[in-house]
Amino acid sequence: MSRPSLLITRRLPASVLERLRASYEVTVNPDDRALGREALLMALRSFDALSPTITDKLDAALLLNSGLRTRIIANFGAGFEHIDLEAAKQANLVVTNTPDALTDATAELALLLILMTSRRAGEGERVLRAGRWTGWAPTQLLGMDVKGKTLGLVGFGRIARETARRARAALGMHIAYFSRSRASVEEERALGAEHHATLESLLAASDVVSLHCPGGAATHHLINATTLARMKSTAILINTARGSVVDEEALANALAQRQIAAAGLDVYEREPAVSPALRELDNAVLLPHLGSATLEARTAMGMQMADNLDSFFAGRTPPNRVA
């Protein structure tokens, strides 16, 4: 029996490619740049399986074309709002993701942003590198202790809970959350997590607000001028989820006017573009979508993706099927 053909749209860790090459006719996009629409359509018409990432927009206009050969889209990544699931279902395409593999790495990054913002680390480094550091002073670059402060999580999935666990154990923070579905009493007790019935109530009570909800229409601009106005003037906003959750212009305004104290961002509305207003602000820590960027996480994501492909081509339901 001939091996299924697989197109991988971006370069992946060597051990992942090695495993996939043992079972599939693998083609890797040689440029390691986002594929254009034409190339994606060609891929859907020529390969049995496609492994895209967040940089590949697979919308209805692409997925509802005739003559598609692809039967499974095995996404490399947890978030899948770049794939139109309804259109995929209509086109009889199976879609999978990699939800477990990046939990630790992304939770670590959320903690990094909490500490970088609360201790003004980016600002301090810029002062030093620019040769503007004049020596130690008692009131220089004063930040905020996070011990005893409240971390408010928006969303309460895997990454939120792991962030909560670490923030509580390592940083001594109190945990609060708002989410569409409430966790069980046992789960809340295990994390000491206080549930808030509304986003507004969580925002008003939190010293650090960390976003962990999926992207997509339901969460678009959840954080906007109105909701930002509910936050404390000393509060910090962290986003390791999706850029679309935050109205970037409203956030830049709130930061410039010190309506909130700081923001730590890893994701943006129009990646790789970042609002010029944000880039000017010293109270914004800006990272280039590094959430899952560890060798361990990217390897585990690739292996989870390979497990999904293997199940599918063995005639089973892939473990991480989302459509």
Radius of gyration (C-alpha) of the chain in whole angstroms: 21
**Do residues 210 and 154 lie in contact, with contact meaning Cβ atoms separated by under 8 Å?**
yes
Q: Where is 174: in which H helix or E strand? A: strand 174-178
- Work out whether 268 is an interface residue with ligand 8YV (CB under 6 A): no
Taking the C-alpha atoms of residue 150 and residue 207, their distance in angstroms, rounded to an integer, is 5
- Work out whether 79 is an interface residue with ligand 8YV (CB under 6 A): yes
- Work out whether 243 is an interface residue with ligand 8YV (CB under 6 A): no
221 is catalytic: no
Q: Which of 86, 187, 271, 280 is catalytic?
A: 271
For residue 144 the two structure tokens come to 């905020």
For residue 212 the two structure tokens come to 């962990």
Taking the C-alpha atoms of residue 193 and residue 215, their distance in angstroms, rounded to an integer, is 23
Mask 194-233, x = binds ligand 8YV (CB under 6 A)? Answer: ----------------------------------------
- The window from 76-84, 85-93, 175-183, 280-288 that contacts ligand 8YV (CB under 6 A) reads 76-84
Greatest Cα pair distance in the chain? 73
Could you tell me which of 18, 9, 24, 129 has the C-alpha nearest to residue 58? 9
User: Which position among 26, 44, 74, 78 is part of the footprint of ligand 8YV (CB under 6 A)?
Assistant: 78
Taking the C-alpha atoms of residue 211 and residue 147, their distance in angstroms, rounded to an integer, is 20
- The window from 77-85, 122-130, 169-177, 246-254 that contacts ligand 8YV (CB under 6 A) reads 77-85
Nearest-approach distance from CB 304 to ligand 8YV, in angstroms: 11
Taking the C-alpha atoms of residue 316 and residue 71, their distance in angstroms, rounded to an integer, is 13
289 is catalytic: yes
- The window from 13-21, 73-81, 144-152, 251-259 that contacts ligand 8YV (CB under 6 A) reads 73-81
Taking the C-alpha atoms of residue 208 and residue 153, their distance in angstroms, rounded to an integer, is 8
168 is catalytic: no
**Do residues 110 and 165 lie in contact, with contact meaning Cβ atoms separated by under 8 Å?**
no
Q: Which of 19, 212, 242, 298 is catalytic?
A: 242
Nearest position to ligand 8YV, beta carbon: 77
Write out the binding residues for ligand 8YV, residues 40-59 only, by CB under 6 A: 53-54
DSSP tag of 137 = -
- Work out whether 152 is an interface residue with ligand 8YV (CB under 6 A): no
- Work out whether 76 is an interface residue with ligand 8YV (CB under 6 A): yes
Catalytic site positions: 242, 271, 289
- What is the binding site for ligand 8YV (CB under 6 A)? 53-54, 76-79, 102, 291-292
